[in-house]
Amino acid sequence: MTPPLSRSGSRARRGPADRCSDDDLMVRCGRGHTAALTELMARYQNAAYRYAWRIFRDHHTAEDITQEFFVKLFRNAARYQPRGHFTTFFYRVLANLCFDALRKRKRRKHVQAIQMDPIEAEGTELEPLSRDDNPDAPLRSQEAKDAVHSSLAGLPLHVREALELREFEGLRYREIAEVMDISLNEVKVLLHRGRKLLARALARTSVGRDMIGRDWGSA
């Protein structure tokens, strides 16, 4: 399934803000300059939308998250420290929004499940579904992509967040550590665990077994 294009992704007419760095634009946003926010949206709106769509696989939710993201960016811009790390800041705010929303959904489902059947619901929250996917392997078909995303959806959220940032957004380990506010060693542990869980889960599907057989060595 290919994410639909965000309706609001067209670039605005260019102006002086176009020549500013991301840090400069954030400083201007902190001073209340809406033109700076407009330029940041022109640069990063599609990236924010794609990230949110991949997490939720829903067009309207992705749009809502994207809009909320830029509102939050503008409101908190005055506290931004311009040190040339806008990308890290971008993913920290965006990932927090997405995964906080996922946690709220899981809590709602958990409460509903307990109300329906407290015995069956007990102990199921955030249990990873056994999953298979070596995210380093190329995804040859839409079916394979859907299998990967379905597998990711069953992982513990902090594990999934690390994998999303590394394998789909291409962040370096140190950047992931900064985004998630954890140590470098914890990032390595999360990624190692996540890859094993994904590989296990995909191995239970025909698509996953084919991907592993053709593309993967030992995980």
Residues 60-115 have pLDDT tens digits of: 999 999 999 999 999 999 999 888 789 999 999 999 999 999 988 876 554 343 33
Residue 79: both structure tokens together: 């506290």
**Tally of domains within the chain:** 2
Q: Provide the residue range defining the domain that includes 36.
A: 16-109
Q: Tell me the pLDDT band of 204, cut-offs 50, 70 and 90.
A: confident
Give pTM, 2 decimals.
0.69
Please provide the average confidence, as pLDDT, over all residues in the chain: 78
Would you say residue 56 lies in a domain? yes
Residues 80 and 148 in one domain: no
Which CA distances in Å does 22 have to 26, 27, 201?
6, 9, 40
What is the arithmetic mean of pLDDT over 13-19? 59
Give the pLDDT confidence score for residue 138 in this predicted structure: 45
Q: What residue has token string 């040339």?
A: 84
- pLDDT at position 202 is 83
Per-residue 3-state assignment (H helix, E strand, C coil) for 46-73 = HHHHHHHHHHHCCHHHHHHHHHHHHHHH
pLDDT at 143: 76
Say if residue 38 is in the same domain as residue 103: yes
Give the pLDDT of residue 105. Answer: 80
Task: Read off the pLDDT of residues 168-186 as tens digits, 9 standing for 90 and up.
Answer: 899 999 999 999 999 999 9
Measured distance CA(159)–CA(163) in Å, rounded: 6
* CATH for 43: 1.10.1740.10
* Cβ-Cβ contacts under 8 Å for 200 (sequence gap 6 or more): 130, 131, 132
What is the structure's pLDDT at 123? 30
Question: Residue 24 — very low, low, confident or very high, per pLDDT cuts 50/70/90?
Answer: very high
Same-domain check for residues 23 and 63: yes
Q: What is the mean pLDDT of residues 49-61?
A: 94
Token output for 132: 């298979």
Specify the pLDDT at position 48: 96
